[in-house]
Amino acid sequence: MGAAMIRAFVAIPLSEAIRGQLGLLAQMLPLPRRVAPEALHLTLVFLGEITEPQAAEAHAAFETIRAARFGLTLRGTGAFGGARPRAVHAALAPEPALDRLQAKVAQAARQAGLEIERRRFVPHVTLGRLKPGEVEPWRLEQALLQTAGFAAGPFEVDHFSLYRSHLGRSGAAYEELARYDLA
C-alpha cells in the first residue's frame, strides 16, 4: 500500500476584516462560483499532490525560513485565462518583501525534493472561478473596470502557513497543517 497523498499549498492567510472586504468585492463581480470568504488566501507556492513524508520534509524546510514581517495592500482586480477567463482575482500592490518570501518558500520546497511550477509568481487572491462561456466576456470586462479602483489594507503579514486542501462538491476546504511566524 502506498503512502497517503495530500493536496498541499503554502499561503498567507487573510484577516477576517480583509476577507470581509474581499467578499463584498466578489459580490460586485459576475462569478458563478465564488470562493467562500473563510477560504480566501494568498498562495505562495502550490505543492500539489504530495505524500505525507514529503509534507513532513517540506515542513522541516519551511521551519528554517527567516523573514521579517511586512505590510501588504490589495489593489485592483483581474482575471486569469486571457480571452477565456478561468479565475477572477484581487491583485496586490507590488511588495518586494512578499516576492522575497515567496522565493524562499519555493526554494525550501525544492530543497525538500518537491517539484513545483517554475512560472512567474503573480501575487493574487482568487475570488471565484468560471468555465468558458459561463459569463459573457463584456459583462466580466465591465465588472473588472468597475472594480479596478478596489483597495484594502495595508495589513500586516506576520506568518504564513502550510495547508491541506480537501476537494469537495461545494469547492475546496482548507486545513492548516503548520504555521510559520515571521520575525
- Among residues 59, 124, 159, 166, which one is catalytic? 124
124 given a catalytic annotation: yes
Please, what sign has the CA dihedral across residues 145, 13, 106, 171?
negative
166 given a catalytic annotation: no
Between CA 126 and CA 79 the distance in angstroms is 9
Query: What would the grid cell of residue 53 be?
Result: 513524508
Select from 166, 164, 163, 155 the least CA-distant residue to 180.
163
Between CA 21 and CA 18 the distance in angstroms is 5
Q: Say if residue 94 is preceded by a cis peptide, omega within 30 of 0.
A: no
**The one-letter amino acid at 178:** A
83 to each of 8, 30, 31, how far by Cα in Å? Answer: 29, 16, 16
- Among residues 41, 59, 159, 166, which one is catalytic? 41
- Structure-derived torsion over alpha carbons of residues 98, 167, 7, 37, reported in degrees to the nearest 10: 20
State the catalytic residues: 41, 124
